Amino acid sequence: MHIIKAETYRQVPWKNGGGTTAEIAVFPPDAMMADFDWRLSMADVASDGPFSTFPGIDRTLTLLEGKGMDLAVEGQGDVRLDDQTPPFAFPGDVPVMARLVEGAIRDLNVMTRRERFVHTVEAIALDGHRDVSVEGGTALLFCREGRAEVNGAALGRFDTLVSGAGTLHLSGQGRFCLVLLQEV
């Protein structure tokens, strides 16, 4: 288990050149956009426009800051991503058009290469104590807001805990995203 502090995230240009993303974690560790198996990143979106397409990739987005974003996802219709929306999963290889609701947003993006990994993303509200069991694979616990101690280690806003199988003992207050990654 280890914690990746928000200030250490690497800034990477978007595939479509429209902005940058803070790359939180990627596997394999030195993978680039063309050869990662999974990737966790945080992006600031300041204008409407199309998403980059990622053939063979499954994605999940969670709104972190801002009023929201309307997504037109080919084959899935329209969805509003806002503060009340659960993490939204969609295939990365279909066209997606984004329209900001009321100004810029920040989102959390999970991507997995379909033939290698699957992922789930769960929004967690913590007010006190909670145990999270990780049965296998890799768990990424991202702090959306607030603070927590996880197995004695401090997790602050936008920090990410990386863990293998075991039990995560959470204590504190805030909102978190639990990403579970499993090999296929």
- Which residues are within 8 A (CB) of 51 and not within 5 positions of it... i.e. 6 or more apart? 16, 95, 96, 97, 98
Domain co-membership, 126 together with 91: no
CB atoms within 10 A of CB 81: 21
pLDDT tens sequence across 3-35: 999 999 999 887 777 677 999 999 999 998 889
Domain co-membership, 104 together with 75: yes
Contact 175, 146 (CB under 8 A): yes
Take residue 5 and report the two structure tokens written for it.
């502090």
Picking from 81, 113, 145, the residue at the C-terminal end of a domain is 113
Task: Look at strands 77-81 and 20-27 and give their pairing.
Answer: unpaired
- pTM across the whole model: 0.94
Domain co-membership, 13 together with 63: yes
Q: What is the pLDDT of residue 20?
A: 78
Over residues 45-63, the mean pLDDT reads 95
1, part of any domain: no
Task: Look at strands 20-27 and 88-91 and give their pairing.
Answer: unpaired
137, part of any domain: yes
CB atoms within 10 A of CB 110: 26
Domain co-membership, 152 together with 75: no
Take residue 81 and report the two structure tokens written for it.
């991503």
Q: What is the pLDDT of residue 18?
A: 67
Domain co-membership, 12 together with 93: yes
28 upstream amide cis, omega within 30 of 0: yes
Which CATH number covers residue 134?
A: 2.60.120.10
Picking from 113, 135, 166, the residue at the C-terminal end of a domain is 113
Domains held by the chain: number:
2
pLDDT tens sequence across 114-143: 999 999 999 999 999 999 999 989 999 999
